């Protein structure tokens, strides 16, 4: 796991695939429970990334020009 937002996007789509592939009610229930947990954690990760980005913008200057590493965006 890379701890960057693009990886989170991949994880969320994999969870969606598992939900769609569930073949029994038990599997579906299990994946729904897992999906709720993944969603709750993902929401916190996204909120944290937003806070980090807003703080960096608020600092201004050179800090605002360099995006936080957790966004997974490089300026090459």
Domain locations in the chain as residue ranges: 5-9+33-76
Which of 48, 56, 35 minimizes the C-alpha distance to 3? 48
pLDDT tens for the chain, residues 1 to 76: 678 889 999 999 999 999 999 999 999 999 999 999 999 999 999 999 999 888 888 887 676 667 777 777 776 5
Distances (CA, A) of 45 to 8, 20, 34: 9, 24, 17
């Amino acid at each position: 796991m890379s701890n960057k937002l693009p990886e989170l996007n991949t994880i969320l789509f994999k969870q969606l695939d598992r939900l769609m592939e569930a073949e029994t009610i038990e599997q579906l229930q299990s994946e729904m429970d897992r999906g709720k947990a993944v969603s709750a954690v993902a929401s916190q990760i996204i909120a944290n990334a937003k806070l980090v980005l807003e703080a960096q913008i608020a600092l201004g200057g050179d800090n605002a020009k360099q995006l936080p590493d957790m966004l997974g965006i490089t300026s090459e």
